């Protein structure tokens, strides 16, 4: 028996296709060939800010044990499945797959982390493929080799979640999805260990995608048993062709990298940076909120877009001097905007006192006095006392803004964004075995 890691990526397009669907097809095909799976298929979300991604920037890895004399047939099966199901007619779809035997070297693990948080080049991937005697197969430009190798390298030994994805029959693809919303609400109410099912602000169902891809719905949760139980509650008015449980880095903040200074921020990188609010929030067209933070090294803009819901509302209340930790993807500078963090989260660490000035109380009767005009003093309307010596009194306002973590609303969260409910649920280590009946067929 040999250990084989099969990574692949970049098979879909904005017009259709889905890399996870190819993984689901291969799960069935490889199972019929007698392989044993060391893990659930790994769905690895890479840097969501790369400009050439299609939708969720997800790469896949299948980790199997197989007989050595079946390797050639397995390799052929994988390549054939990609060729038959990838959106090869689309100019930006450049699939690639990587085959690696035995254990994953540390250098490939490091490459995977970089692919989650930064921009990586084809040359880096090909050097590692050659160095560790892996095999890569590319279609067209073969850019999917990058994601395929990264999916192999991310073994999910740190925090991870699970997603059960169901797929539509071919005749229903492109048509409105017919999932019963009432059943999703029942599922969410009875499945405390699932997340991102329904947007609390709008009531919108989040488990069904909106595009032309073959996915019917996907349920995300903390373990394979809970997503399978949730799947059994959901009702749809169209048939399910197949379903598979994936283990994934979704909902883990795996993309966010803490930087120690504003000057370390690079375009397209997802970052976490601490700073002091230096320019107070302004609301631009569309209801989007822009403010600036700075540290001793420099200044950067932060944007909380209107769809982020509560995050946008909180950002409006910031004042100069507040200390925050901003998290999000970095938009490059342009002729109209400077380098900007598109906020996914904001941690408010310190809130400066809000000071206002009010008229003094009358020293005779205690009633609040009225101004008699600029630099003309104050008069008490109750007892008639007047004074040109009294001044406005400085008072500290009650704080409306509270310290704490604020996250964009679920409807605008990225796949990798860790929601509030997952804090304290982090886990480590791969499962020792997969549950029974984790895919169909």
Please report, for residues 14, 68, 253, 266, 301, the alpha-carbon distance to residue 329 in angstroms, rounded to integers and kept in the order given. Answer: 21, 43, 12, 10, 12
Cis peptide before 441 (omega within 30 of 0): yes
> Which one, of 19, 14, 36, lies nearest residue 148 by Cα?
19
For residue 54, what pLDDT is reported?
67
For residue 395, what pLDDT is reported?
86
CA dihedral 321, 323, 328, 331 (to 10 degrees): 30
CB-based burial, 26-60: b 16+ in 10 Å, e otherwise? bbeebeeeebebbbbbbbbbbbbbbeebbbbbbbb
Cβ atoms of residues 230 and 249 within 8 Å: no
Per-residue pLDDT of the chain (441 residues; tens, 9 = 90+): 999 999 999 999 888 889 999 999 999 999 999 999 999 999 999 999 988 776 678 999 999 999 999 999 999 999 999 999 999 999 889 999 999 999 999 999 999 999 999 999 999 999 999 999 999 999 999 999 999 999 999 999 999 999 999 999 999 998 999 999 999 999 999 999 999 999 998 999 999 998 889 999 999 999 999 999 999 999 999 999 999 999 999 999 999 999 999 999 999 999 999 999 999 999 999 999 999 999 999 999 999 999 998 999 999 999 999 999 999 999 999 888 899 999 999 999 999 988 888 999 999 899 999 999 888 899 999 999 999 889 998 888 777 889 999 999 999 999 999 999 999 999 999 888 999 999 999
Cα–Cα–Cα angle for 250, 252, 255, nearest 5°? 85
For residue 160, what pLDDT is reported?
98
State in Å, rounded, how far the first CA of the chain is from the last one. Answer: 25
CATH number of 161-248: 3.90.600.20
Taking phi over 0 as left and psi of -120 to 50 as alpha, with beta for the rest, 384 belongs to left
What does the chain come to in residues? 441
In the block, tokens 């909106």 appear at 210
Strands (E), 46-177: 58-66, 96-101, 135-138, 161-168
For residue 212, what pLDDT is reported?
87
For residue 209, what pLDDT is reported?
93
**What phi, psi does 217 have (nearest 5°)?**
-160, 160
Strands (E), 197-255: 215-221, 240-248
* Radius of gyration of the chain measured on its C-alpha atoms: 27
**What phi, psi does 348 have (nearest 5°)?**
-90, 115
For residue 56, what pLDDT is reported?
76
Which sequence spans correspond to the domains of the chain?
Answer: 2-155, 161-248, 257-353+398-413
> Which one, of 161, 285, 296, 156, lies nearest residue 219 by Cα?
161
Architecture of the domain defined by 2-155: 2-Layer Sandwich (3.30)
Q: What is the helix (H) or strand (E) element at residue 347, kind and residue range?
A: strand 340-350
CA atoms of 438 and 27, how far apart (whole Å): 10
For residue 337, what pLDDT is reported?
85
CA atoms of 26 and 441, how far apart (whole Å): 11
For residue 399, what pLDDT is reported?
77
CB-based burial, 76-108: b 16+ in 10 Å, e otherwise? ebbbebbeebbbbebeebbbbbbbbeeebbeeb
Q: Which fold has domain 257-353+398-413?
A: OB fold (Dihydrolipoamide Acetyltransferase, E2P) (2.40.50)
């Amino acid at each position: 028996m040999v250990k084989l890691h099969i990574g692949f990526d970049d098979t879909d397009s904005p017009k259709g296709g889905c890399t996870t669907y190819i993984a689901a097809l291969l799960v069935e095909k490889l199972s019929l060939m007698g392989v044993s799976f060391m893990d659930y298929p790994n769905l690895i979300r890479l840097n969501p800010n790369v400009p050439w991604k299609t939708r969720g920037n997800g790469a896949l890895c299948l980790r199997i044990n197989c007989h050595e004399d079946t390797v050639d047939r397995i390799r052929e099966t994988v390549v054939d499945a990609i060729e038959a199901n990838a959106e090869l007619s689309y100019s930006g779809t450049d699939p690639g797959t990587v085959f690696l035997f035995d254990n994953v070297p540390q250098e490939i693990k490091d490459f995977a982390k970089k692919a989650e948080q930064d921009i990586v080049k084809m040359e880096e991937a090909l050097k590692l493929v050659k160095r560790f005697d892996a095999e890569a197969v590319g279609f067209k430009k073969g850019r999917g080799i990058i994601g395929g190798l990264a999916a192999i390298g991310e073994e999910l030994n740190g925090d991870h979640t699970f997603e059960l994805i169901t797929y539509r029959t071919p005749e229903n693809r492109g048509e409105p999805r017919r999932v019963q919303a009432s059943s999703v609400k029942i599922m969410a109410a009875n499945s405390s260990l699932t997340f991102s099912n329904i947007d609390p602000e709008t009531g919108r169902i989040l488990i069904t995608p909106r595009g032309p891809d073959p996915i019917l719905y996907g349920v995300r949760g903390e373990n394979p048993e809970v997503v399978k139980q949730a799947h059994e509650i959901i009702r749809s008015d169209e048939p399910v062709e197949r379903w598979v449980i994936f283990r994934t880095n979704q909902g883990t903040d795996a993309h966010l990298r803490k930087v120690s200074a504003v000057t370390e921020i690079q375009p397209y990188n997802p970052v976490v940076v601490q700073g002091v609010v230096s320019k107070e929030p302004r609301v631009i067209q569309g209801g989007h909120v822009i403010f600036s933070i700075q540290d001793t090294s420099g200044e950067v803009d932060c944007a909380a877009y209107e769809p982020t819901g509560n995050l946008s509302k909180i950002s409006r209340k910031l004042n100069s001097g507040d200390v925050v930790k901003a998290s999000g993807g970095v938009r490059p500078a342009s002729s109209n905007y400077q380098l900007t963090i598109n906020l996914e989260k904001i941690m408010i660490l310190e809130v400066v006192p809000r000071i206002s000035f009010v008229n003094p109380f009358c020293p005779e009767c205690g009633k609040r006095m009225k101004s008699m005009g600029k630099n003309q003093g104050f008069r008490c309307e109750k007892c008639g006392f007047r004074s040109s010596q009294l001044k406005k009194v400085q008072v500290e306002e009650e704080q409306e803004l509270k310290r704490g973590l604020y996250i964009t609303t679920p409807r605008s969260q990225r796949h990798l964004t860790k929601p509030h409910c997952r804090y304290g649920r982090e886990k480590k280590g791969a499962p020792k075995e997969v549950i029974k009946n984790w895919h169909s067929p």
